[in-house]
Amino acid sequence: MSTPDSPDALARREVSRVLKQEVAEKFRQLLPPLAPVPDAYKAIMESPELLDGCFQIFRAKRDLFANLLVDADGNPVHDDVTRLKCGRSVDEVIGMVVRTGMRSFAENHFGEPIDPAKAKTKTAAAQKKPPQQSPLLRLVNVAKLSELFRRNHGQDRPPPAGQSGSGRFYASIKDHLDFEWQVRFFPIYVEIPAHVFNKLGIGITRMDTEERLQKLAQLAMADLQKAEQVLKDPALIREMLEHNVLASSTVSELGEAGFDTVHGALSGVDAKKKWDVLANKDTAKKLVEDNRISQHDIAALADYLDVLNEYALDAMLELHLNRDQMQMFLKTAEEHLGRSLFLSLFGPVYGIVPDDMDEQMKLRKYQSFCQKALRDLVTAVKQLEEQNRRSGNEVDEQECLATVCRSRRIDLEKELKKLVPACVVNNQPHHR
């Protein structure tokens, strides 16, 4: 623990001073809503929308902060990991700001200070606010999410004497906040019971899309408990919770034998990728249930299994490709379709039904088109191969696929741009 005059404490005070003075004044000049506010720093920290906007401005116009982005010798710093003159890196300052913003938002939401003992004035009885619908989460029903968390994970008991509800919540989350994209999820975080953060911790705050947080809300505690029974090893359980807690739903359904099949095949893959593969539920289950797929096939496809949807996997199996050809098939498709279009056709299927009926219809139409486009792509490859055989030409599946992808890419991109619903657009991971 640092003393008041330790280098760590001095650095924290200096960062706080710079943020409250130079940085806050810079944002006052850049953001019109802050112009009439007497304390710009306080206003930013109390509003996730303003704080998110400040981060976006910083990323877009970093050069405006060049005078602050220098090291101890006055040299310009262009990355986020080098120590600045203030004693912290950009990444470390961002983490501090996110935690401070969460603290302010929690106090406002719970209607009480984090530490009642340090409150300058005696506060009235806490009045926790109802779920708050944020402009940053236009397509997420925060009230519905709040109810799901309570139903599937239970409510917190009253905090012990001397501790406030906001204090208990903040203590459970503060060590798991580091990234600017987490700010948009503040209204969701405060609806998650503190005991769930105590158990899952970083497993929650690494959910970087609205869809993943909604899937987490749907995850029953029984699934987590069953997954722990399947895994048995405490180190393996901790690894899953830290990298992708959504894998617990898959693990609970696979059982020991199924889990061992997939886990064994992925033994050479890094932990994050492995648990992301297992979190890709429908595809992970197909790896076990389809007897055309061996452990060697799973290992060969490991680079793509965290994003590959079950329809794409089926399509490749229909072509009777061996494992080397399947791997090359995916690499060729990604190269000639481009990453974005490749993920639209081969990647994860958006799994949360929107509340808005128009959005539901748009999503169904979009997904139907993607699946048909994928089937048509495979059919076209088969037809081109057959034409080559009949013509006596040497058949090369990868060249056939590349030709089909190149010929269809522009039209597919245009059509998908027209069809893609807002829920899919907004579901992109928020981290850099």
| Through-space distance between the first and last CA atoms of the chain, rounded to whole angstroms | 32
Contact 184, 101 (CB under 8 A): no
In our burial notation (b when 16+ CB lie closer than 10 A, e otherwise), range 195-232 reads: ebbebbbbbbbbbbbbbbbbbbbbbeeebbebbbebbe
The predicted-structure confidence for 189-199, as pLDDT tens digits, reads as follows: 999 999 999 99
The predicted pLDDT at position 29 comes to: 92
Q: What is the reported pLDDT for 126?
A: 67
User: Which residues make beta-bridge pairs with 70?
Assistant: 76
What's the rounded Cα separation, in Å, for the pair 131 and 72? Answer: 44
Which residues, 6 or more positions from 389, have their beta carbon under 8 angstroms from its beta carbon? 395
Query: What is the pLDDT at residue 432?
Result: 44
CA distance 405 to 412: 10
**Residue 86's closest CA among 193, 3, 7, 24?**
7
Strand segments (E) across 11-160:
none
Among 236, 136, 147, residue whose Cα is nearest residue 191: 147
- Position 169 scores a pLDDT of 96
CA–CA distance, 404 with 186 (Å, rounded to integer): 45
Q: Which amino acid is at 174?
A: K
Dihedrals φ, ψ of 70, to 5°? -135, 155
CA distance 432 to 416: 24
Q: Are 244 and 219 in contact (CB under 8 A)?
A: no
Using CA atoms, how far apart are residues 111 and 123, in angstroms rounded to an integer?
9
Domain extents in the chain: 7-205, 219-304, 307-432
- Name the percent of the chain in helix, strand, coil, to the closest 5: 65, 0, 35
- Residue ranges, the chain, pLDDT below 50: 432
Longest Cα–Cα distance in the chain: 89
Which pLDDT belongs to residue 398? 85
Nearest CA to 109 out of 153, 144, 136, 142 is that of 142
> Strand pairing partners for 76?
70
pLDDT at 72: 92
